[in-house]
Amino acid sequence: MRVSRLALTDFRNYRSADVAFEPGANLLVGRNGQGKTNIVESLVWIATGSSHRVPTDVALIRAGEQRAIVRCTVTNDERSFQLDVELNAKGANRAQANGNGVRIRDLPRYLQAVLFSPEDLQLVRADPAGRRRFLDELAVMRAPRLAGVHSDLDRVLRQRNSLLKSARASRLREDELTTLEVWDGRLVELGLEVLRTRQALVADLAPHVAEAYRVVAGDEHRAEIALVTNVPADAEAFRALLAQRRRDELDRGVSLVGPHRDDLELQLNGLLARHYASHGESWSFALALRLASAQLLRDGSGGDPVMILDDVFAELDAGRRQRLAEAAGGFEQVLITAAVEDDVPEALRDHRIRIDAGVVVEAGAAARTPVERAGDPDVDPDAEAVVGVDERADAEAVDG
Ligand SMILES: Nc1ncnc2c1ncn2[C@@H]1O[C@H](COP(=O)(O)OP(=O)(O)OP(=O)(O)O)[C@@H](O)[C@H]1O
Ligand SMILES: [Mg+2]
C-alpha cells in the first residue's frame, strides 16, 4: 500500500499543507525543527490512532487553534481510500473513510505503517510498557478487530483497579464482592484472548527478528524474543490465581495478574539486551523489531505496509545505512526524513520534498539544486505536482 497524498490543516506547525508522495522512496529534507517529523507523525496517527511522540493529542493541534485536520489518500491494490481525521481540542476526535464516519480504532484497517524512529531505542532500553504497545499495535494491524479487545481490557482494568482502591486495605462489602467477580470474569476472558494473540504474534515474529537483526547489524549475533507473562494458560488456573492474589491486590489497590504486566524479553546471544547490549547493538535490535514487523505484515493479506524512516540514518554507520536502505527499499513505499541529505543512501533520494518552517517548499525534481537542474533540458512535469498551499497562494498572487 501507499499514501499518494496528504493534506494538513492546523496540524503541529502546519497552517495548511498539501503533499503528494510517489511510490518507492520519498525523502523529506529540511533543517531541524521545520516539520519533517510532524508530517510522518500525522500518518502514524492515522495508522495507530495516537501519536508516537506525545500521550495526548492536544500538542498535535496548531498552537492557538481548536482543531487539526489530517486528510490522506491511501492506495492499496488498485483500491483507493480517502481518510479524513479531525482532532478536536474540546470534544471527541472524528474520522471518515471515503466520506463515511468510522471509529478511530477502525482506521488501522485502511492504513498500515511501520515507523522507525530514534525513540525506538527505548523499545530495547526502557520498561515493558513500550514493548507491550509495540506488540499490540502490530497485532491490531494484523487483525484490526483486536483494537476492541484491547480497549475493553483497558476499561476492565481501570474499573477493577478503582474498585480495589476504594476497598483498599479493608474487607469488601457484599455488593463490591459481586462487582469484583464480574470484573474478574471479564479479565479472565479478555486477558486470555490478549495472551493468546501475543503468544501467536511472538511465535510468528521471532524468526523475522533473528533474520532482520543479521540484515541490519551485518553479523551473526543471535537476536531472540520471548513473551514473559504471569497469565496462566487457562481460565480455571487464571481464576485460581486471582483468588490467591486477592489479599495482595486489596492491600496494594491494583490488579496484579494479567497481560498488563507482560513483557517482551529481548536477548542477544543469550543475554538480556536491556542490560547487556551496547548502544549500537540496541539500535540494531530496535531496527530489527521494526523491519521484522514490516516483513510479517507483508506476509499477511494487507500488502506492504508503508515504511516510515524518521531520522534513522543519521544514527547509523555506513554499513548499517546501506543494509537498512536495501531492506526497506524493497517495500512499495518508503517515507524518509533527514536533516542532512547526505546521510541518506543514494538509492532512497530519488523523490525529494523540501520542508521549511511548516511549508512544503518544493517537491520532485524541483527539489534539486539549480546546478543540477541546469543540466536538464526538460522540465519535469512532476516538478509542480505539489507545492505548499502557502506558496501556491503566493504564486497566484504574483500571476494575477
Ligand atoms: N502544536 C504545535 N503548534 C505549532 N508548532 C508546533 C506544534 N507542535 C510542534 N510545533 C513545532 O514544530 C517544530 C518541530 O517539528 P518537527 O518535529 O517535525 O521537526 P523536524 O523537521 O522533524 O526536526 P528535526 O530534524 O529536529 O527532527 C518545532 O518548531 C515545534 O515548535
Ligand atoms: Mg524530526
- Position 166 scores a pLDDT of 86
Residue range(s) in the chain whose domain bears CATH number 3.40.50.300: 1-112+303-400
Segments in the chain below pLDDT 70: 169-170, 364-400
Q: Which DSSP state fits 375?
A: T
Q: Is 130 annotated as a binding residue?
A: no
Q: Which DSSP state fits 171?
A: P
Q: Relative to the alpha carbon of 58, which ligand is closest?
A: 1
CA angle 274, 277, 280 (to 5 degrees): 120
Q: Relative to the alpha carbon of 12, which ligand is closest?
A: 1
Fold of 1-112+303-400: Rossmann fold (3.40.50)
- Position 371 scores a pLDDT of 46
Q: Whose CA is nearest to atom 19 of ligand 1?
A: 33
CA 181 to ligand 1 center in whole angstroms: 48
To test ligand 1's pocket by mutation, which of 19, 34, 343 has the most ligand atoms within 8 angstroms of CB? 34
CA 170 to ligand 1 center in whole angstroms: 49
Determine the atom of ligand 1 nearest the C-alpha atom of 38.
Answer: 18
Q: Which DSSP state fits 59?
A: G
Q: Whose CA is nearest to atom 8 of ligand 1?
A: 12
Q: Which residue is associated with the grid cell 499518494?
A: 4
Cα–Cα distance, 167 to 57 (Å, whole number): 33
Q: Which residues of 79-96 are buried (b: 16+ CB within 10 A; e: fewer)?
A: eeeebbbbbeeeeeebbe
Angle between helix 128-142 and helix 36-48 axes, rounded to 10 deg: 60
- Position 176 scores a pLDDT of 84
- Position 363 scores a pLDDT of 73
- Position 77 scores a pLDDT of 87
Residue range(s) in the chain whose domain bears CATH number 1.20.1050.90: 118-301
Tell me the β-bridge partners of 265: 226
Domain made up of 118-301: CATH architecture: Up-down Bundle (1.20)
What are phi and psi for residue 284, nearest 5 degrees? -60, -40
What are phi and psi for residue 31, nearest 5 degrees? -65, 170
Contacts of 55 (CB under 8 A, 6+ apart): none
* Pocket-forming residues, ligand 1, beta carbon under 6 Å: 12-13, 30, 32-38, 59, 61-63, 311, 337, 339
